Amino acid sequence: MREITCTPFKGVEVEGLSKSFSLENNRVQALSDITITVERGSFVSIVGYSGCGKTTLLNTVLGLQEPDCGHVRFTGMRGRTAIVFQEPRLVSALTVEKNMALALTHEPDTRKKQRKIDEVLEMLGLTAFRKARPCQLSGGMAQRVALGRALCREPELLLMDEPFGSLDALNRGYLQSELIEIYRKKKITILFVTHDVSEAVLLGNRVLVMEAGSISRDIPIDLEYPRNRSSSDFLSLRDGVLNSILNSNLLCKE
């Protein structure tokens, strides 16, 4: 259940969120009693093994799935969200520009709509491709359009579900830098799901480690942007996150 309230705290509060699915007569607990607070303007990375409930958490925060219990509360925010999925999910019949315009379907002012699209195209370096169709774009380019579509909504909370997971290393690096730039410029609250620990530490100012449907660690990342992947601070933080994932997995196995 999603709520919008006004209190001194500004951000997203997830409280006691649980969700289970039935799979071949078995009950699978995807989320169990998750409670987190995400301050407005923060960048939170969520890491964990495949199937630990990261995507279910995002879908529930987004409202795509109803939780069994618990709720998501937006305080001091209008609750405007957008998501970038692992695959771009572009409508093949529509141009780049029109795919982005889908996010502004309810904007009655056509001039304002066009201005917003132009601004996002410019920001993501897609102006020259505005009339291109998805089949004419590379994987990285298509994912940039998906990011642009999400940004057109001017979200207060941007959810990203392994958005760079299927890209090659060069494109991934390029988009990571772009995302940091956008985050620093727009100060959007971001929940970023990834299975890449380096990426989680590179982007987030907080890393949540997920294990079997719950948050096992909450690690603050106090490093300035842009971050240097080879600095000792970065490497020690990355190793710390990696160890906590490995340890929690070992504990589970025991």
Angstrom distance (rounded) from CA 181 to CA 195: 22
In terms of CB distance, is 145 or 241 closer to another protein?
145
Angstrom distance (rounded) from CA 31 to CA 57: 7
- Token pair of 84 as six digits: 């970038």
Angstrom distance (rounded) from CA 144 to CA 35: 31
- The conformation of residue 106, written as its DSSP 8-state character, comes to T
Angstrom distance (rounded) from CA 196 to CA 27: 28
| Min CB(214)–another protein separation in Å | 25
Report whether 161 contacts 45 (CB < 8 A). Answer: no
In terms of CB distance, is 93 or 128 closer to another protein?
93
Binding site for another protein (CB under 8 A): 62, 64, 81-83, 85, 87, 89, 91-94, 102-103, 105-106, 133-135, 149, 153
CA triple 131-175-169, angle to 5 deg: 115
In terms of CB distance, is 27 or 106 closer to another protein?
106
| Min CB(63)–another protein separation in Å | 8
| Min CB(36)–another protein separation in Å | 21
Angstrom distance (rounded) from CA 134 to CA 129: 10
In terms of CB distance, is 94 or 212 closer to another protein?
94
Tally of helices (H runs) and strands (E runs) in the chain: 7, 10
In terms of CB distance, is 83 or 193 closer to another protein?
83
| Min CB(146)–another protein separation in Å | 9
| Min CB(133)–another protein separation in Å | 5
